[in-house]
Amino acid sequence: MQGAVHKDRNSAGYKAVFPNGLDAVTKLRGEAESHESARIRGALARHFPRLQAAYAGELERLETSTNESERAWKQAEARATEAFAEEVEERRRLTEAMQKSEGALQTLFPGQKGRVRSFFRKKATSAEETPATTPTPTTPPAHA
């Protein structure tokens, strides 16, 4: 592109293809990027047909790739959110089972709190010894 406009980014042809500059295009992702790529191909066809002929196939392939990547990313985020919810539920079930076990042990060993507690891990006494809390899912970056 730079060769076709003789490195003049203020030329009418360059402005037609990149009205907001190339930097604006590189910040786009997914569907927005794909739509902009299609618009660029159209502008290239009108103003630089040889460039369009040379690069149209690659641009189309990249449009498809960016859309597929965005879909895969969204699916992975959804799976991660589901896994997080499942982990929280399993932790709740574990806590419930441990409480039931503690109750059963107290029935078997009445008045022997020390013996009942010996079946479980010791509680952490400081912030450094506290086990890791439940993880939080990542939040997706904002799209332009």
pLDDT single digits (tens) 110-120? 999 989 888 88
**Beta-carbon contacts of residue 28 (< 8 Å; ≥ 6 apart):** 36, 143, 144
- 85, part of any domain: yes
| Nearest CA-CA partner of 42 in 30, 32, 33, 51 | 51
- 105, part of any domain: no
The pLDDT tens digits of the residues spanning 11-63 come to: 777 777 778 777 777 788 888 888 888 888 888 888 888 888 888 888 888 88
Q: Would you state the pLDDT for residue 88?
A: 96
The pLDDT tens digits of the residues spanning 62-106 come to: 888 888 988 999 999 999 999 999 999 999 999 999 999 999 999
pTM of the model: 0.54
Domain that holds residue 53: 12-92
- Distance in angstroms (rounded) separating the CA atoms of residues 136 and 45: 47
Q: Where is 40: in which H helix or E strand?
A: helix 30-47
Radius of gyration for the chain, computed over Cα atoms and rounded to the nearest angstrom: 30
Is residue 5 within 8 Å of residue 11, measured between CB atoms?
yes
Domain total of the chain? 1
